[in-house]
């Protein structure tokens, strides 16, 4: 998944004056046509995976299901494991990298955001990016938001409408804004 550009930008400030800022926007524009085609009209599951392969530049396993519309602002930094299910209107802001391991479920209107703006008002249009990692068999509920740099643990659940600002350990349910552990799940034996 990691591209040359991703290795240059993760956890670094990208200012508007940086030539990399323009390159990011050029690469983003390259994917607009494929993303538009993906979200226009009916497509079979196989056709959806073919468009996703063009967008991500990765092989998408036949076990992956993505319901349309699917949104991404960059596309090239998404990695999907096997048996992944992504429900309608999911938004992947993936410049920093989004990795979904096997059997991950993403609820409708979920937001996975790897990009933040700089806090200095004079540099506000600049960016800082951090990857998101969702481990095996995790479930992100409807309209939940996962913020930059967060890892969601194996078998864990993010309750609907939650905002996750920190790593989530394995085998828990988190809920709220900011999300906090509300229950422990017995590991699968």
**φ, ψ dihedrals at 41, nearest 5°:** 75, -175
100 in helix, strand or coil?
A: strand
For residue 166, give every residue at least 6 positions away whose Cβ sits within 8 Å of its Cβ, in sequence order, or none. 150, 178, 179
Catalytic residue among 43, 77, 117, 133: 117
117 is catalytic: yes
Contact between 136 and 152 (Cβ < 8 Å): no
Identify which of 46, 48, 92, 98 has the alpha carbon closest to the alpha carbon of residue 68: 48
- Alpha carbons 156 and 140: distance in angstroms, whole number: 8
Which residues does the annotation mark as catalytic? 117
């Amino acid at each position: 998944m990691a591209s040359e550009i991703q290795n240059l930008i993760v956890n670094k400030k990208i200012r508007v004056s940086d030539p990399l800022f323009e390159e990011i926007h050029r690469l983003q524009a390259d994917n607009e046509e494929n993303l538009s085609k993906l979200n226009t009209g009916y497509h079979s599951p196989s056709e959806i995976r073919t468009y996703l392969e063009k967008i991500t530049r990765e092989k998408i396993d036949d076990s992956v299901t993505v319901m349309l519309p699917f949104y991404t602002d960059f596309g090239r930094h998404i990695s999907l494991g096997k048996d992944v299910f992504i429900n309608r209107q999911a938004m992947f802001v993936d410049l920093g990298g989004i990795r979904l391991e096997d059997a991950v479920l993403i609820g409708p209107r979920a937001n996975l955001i790897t990009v933040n703006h700089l806090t200095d008002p004079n540099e506000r249009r600049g960016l800082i990016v951090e990857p998101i990692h969702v481990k095996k068999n995790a479930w992100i509920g409807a309209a939940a938001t996962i913020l930059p740099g967060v890892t969601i643990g194996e078998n864990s659940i993010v309750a609907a409408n939650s905002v996750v600002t920190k790593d989530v350990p394995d085998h828990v349910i988190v809920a709220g804004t900011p999300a906090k552990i509300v229950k422990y799940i017995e590991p699968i034996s």
